[in-house]
Structure 1
């Protein structure tokens, strides 16, 4: 199925135009391939941070998806499965996308403020989340980023955040030479 920009909800189209991904007069331009996969390689305006642009578009698309899934009980099982599978794939890609950003934020140290004991505490306060999930997320991000090929493996679904957390526990107790061998080379996620 080839979708056109005319078929997009107004908020999604506005987000794509605002992000510079679509021109304001680009009605009718296809944005998905025949197999339903998004068309990649969209040119962005010079000077824009493409990650921030795509994140803004993603936020709008996710909000739209949340709105339409409320009627999922009336869908066929095949439709529900198709949507859940697509959301799972997107979630894996988002884990891989978010991990190096979290590591960079932690390394930059700009989160340090009086009363904030750790990066995980900062994440918990910022996201209005309990500390335990933010500890798991930060640890998985560190592991996926440090593991050679870890981010790509996460995006492909070959390693999950929970796998990364368990792998991190192994790395924490391993001899430094064993740790290095596990993170790179033949035993690494990229091999």
Structure 2
């Protein structure tokens, strides 16, 4: 019987050169992937903010239908705050809206890195969100334009409108409200 001795030149292992080539390839791939990962956090903040608003719209819709009372979601474009209000009869003052305080999730603030623009059908989206004549309404949301609200009606309909959320990198998401069903549809818009 003959024993076969392993040839030291044919040792089944990796050479230092092979390991160095693999490490260089890993380094190059990492350098290419890292810049692509930067935008994912901003994208996550944008999508999280849009989901937060969709949840608030769904809350206002369900409250309006179940309680049989007009509700609205009011937005402050400057501070990013939102608030759900219900219709109340006010004696001498007539009809007005009061904020919901007893329902979780009926008020909050969108991340400061996200800008909000609001558009109703037939309006142009303006680049500047600032307007003259702002008045503090007492609840911390400016009342420069009471039209920065979406109404949800007891019959299951809503005011038509589009809210555009934009992050610092220029990526945008539109929340389009269907007036017949009060459903919110998310639409990705082109980058600015």
- Give the TM-score band, short-chain normalised: under 0.3
Q: 1 or 2, which has the higher strand percentage?
A: 2
Q: TM-score, normalised by structure 1?
A: 0.24
Rg larger in 1 or in 2?
Answer: 2
Q: 1 or 2, which has the higher helix percentage?
A: 1
